[in-house]
Amino acid sequence: MTNTTSETSPQDSPPPAAISDFGIDTTSRSTDEALRDYWARLRGGELGPLPALLGLVALLIVFSSLSDTFLTLGNIANLLAQGASITIIAMGLVFVLLLGEIDLSAGTASGVTAAVMALHLVKGGNLLGGMGEGVFYAFCGLLLVAIVLAGVMRIWAGAALSAVALVISLVGVPPNPWVEMLLAVCVGTAIGCITGFLVATVGIPSFVVTLALFLAWGGVVLQFIGQGGTLGLNDDTLFQVANGNLTTAGSWLLFALAAGGYAAVVLGRHFSRLRKGLVASPTPMVLTKVGVVVVLAAVGTYLLTLNRSVSDVVVISGVPYVVPIVLVLLVIGTFVLERTRYGRHVYAVGGNKEAARRAGIDVARIRMSVFVICSSAAAIGAIVYSSKVGSVDPNAGGGNTLLLSVGAAVIGGTSLFGGKGRLRDAVIGAAVLSTISNGMGLLKQPAAVVFIVTGLVLLLAAGVDALSRRRAAVAPR
């Protein structure tokens, strides 16, 4: 009798044709192949953050050669603190920009959260007395509306945080720095719920909604603080948020956690792909990348732990608190965007809204949620900025706050057309803008020159984005 049983079942090894048809990655690349692939992507318009990184290096070289104080330890630490608030707001805006939307109210919304925080602190937790009866009940009414809208759209985190803001406001919780910061974030979340609902469900274009709210929230800040008024943040904890530093031991612990965690994630992912037989970058390239990041982090930590005080009496050293704040937000946001189903849905909606809807994604809920995230991040940025200046005035969140935040995200590589960008883009772009502002200030350039240069850099970034998308559209697949 003839044995018709195959020695190898189809499950054991898929046919080569199937592998080819479905594009399964089953081989590793050499270093030369990886470099050629990267060069091909660059030529195809996939530039990513490369233009911003090259621009940042150029700016560092130029300003360090023109100013003797630019690369001093004190100025480097000051540069980190200066750009932190813009970086945080820009990270929130990345979520909105990924959908091809815009939030023009992020700046003044951050001003509202800062004003509420300062008013609650200064008035001893009595917002009713600080705002006046009519304004207070209108404020609570908006919080209640935010809770309802978030509940309708099943954005439970937004509903919960908005409810916390309402409870703190109605109960009159005594002032406490941690309560003030929580209140600011919760109010920011409530603002995002209202903004997102108007865009996602009512269907008003985001440009129109947020432009209207930009004006409205600016008026709210003026109403809370008063014309020409200022609310001081006379609290040591709030002051330390943007002006304090980790101890030397704390700084090195941060280095160990950040650099070690980065190395563990990158190397773990790399060797996992190798074990599974998937395409992975050449191991020498991965090791080099990790090594460069770890060395730079070690050098930066060492320098920041040195005494940078100009006085022999006072010692100022350690990594500024804003650095771990930005790092934590960056890690959490990156994980959400790149490692969760929600993040994949954000990219899907930004890439093709109709296709995402047909795939079963709740597009309206995703669109609303990104505005909630954006306004919440704006509130955190407001806390950092208010801590830096030590007060809140009627111009809080106005001026160039929004323009610099949007500019940071776009300069870093996030596309204005949606579907392309990463959270790190906001950090890189904010570093470019902060370097321009800081360097120009050291060179004693007038504000007019700073604005012109900043505007030209933003225009260049937008042009690079448009040209790269056009090139990618015509590039051979």
Output the DSSP codes for 182-219: HHHHHHHHHHHHHHHHIIIII---HHHHHHHHHHHHHH
- Domains identified in the chain, total number: 1
CA distance 444 to 60: 17
Structure tokens at 62: 């130029």
CA distance 377 to 409: 14
User: Is 79 inside any structural domain?
Assistant: yes
User: Is 178 inside any structural domain?
Assistant: yes
In this prediction the pTM is 0.88
User: Is 53 inside any structural domain?
Assistant: yes
| Average pLDDT of span 343-350 | 94
Position 465 confidence tier, pLDDT thresholds 50, 70, 90: low
Helices of type H across 44-72: 50-66
Q: What is the pLDDT of residue 476?
A: 52
Distance, C-alpha 157 to centroid of its chain: 19
Name residue 71's amino acid.
L
Helix pair angle (31-43, 283-304), 10° resolution? 80
- pLDDT one-digit tens code per residue, 279-334: 777 888 889 989 999 999 999 999 999 988 877 788 888 999 999 999 999 999 99
Position 169 confidence tier, pLDDT thresholds 50, 70, 90: very high
User: Is 437 inside any structural domain?
Assistant: yes
Residue 119 structural domain: 48-59+66-244+361-470
User: Is 401 inside any structural domain?
Assistant: yes
Question: Is a pLDDT exceeding 50 seen at residue 19?
Answer: no
Q: What is the pLDDT of residue 12?
A: 47
User: Are residues 387 and 22 in contact, defined by beta-carbon separation less than 8 angstroms?
Assistant: no
- pLDDT one-digit tens code per residue, 228-287: 788 889 899 999 999 999 999 999 999 999 999 999 999 988 888 888 877 777 888 889
User: Is 307 inside any structural domain?
Assistant: no
User: Is 284 inside any structural domain?
Assistant: no
- pLDDT one-digit tens code per residue, 356-397: 999 999 999 999 999 999 999 999 999 999 999 999 988 888
Could you give the percent of the chain with pLDDT greater than 90?
A: 52
User: Is 89 inside any structural domain?
Assistant: yes
| Average pLDDT of span 108-136 | 92
Position 157 confidence tier, pLDDT thresholds 50, 70, 90: very high
Structure tokens at 325: 């704040």
Half-sphere CA count of 210, side-chain side, radius 13 A? 25
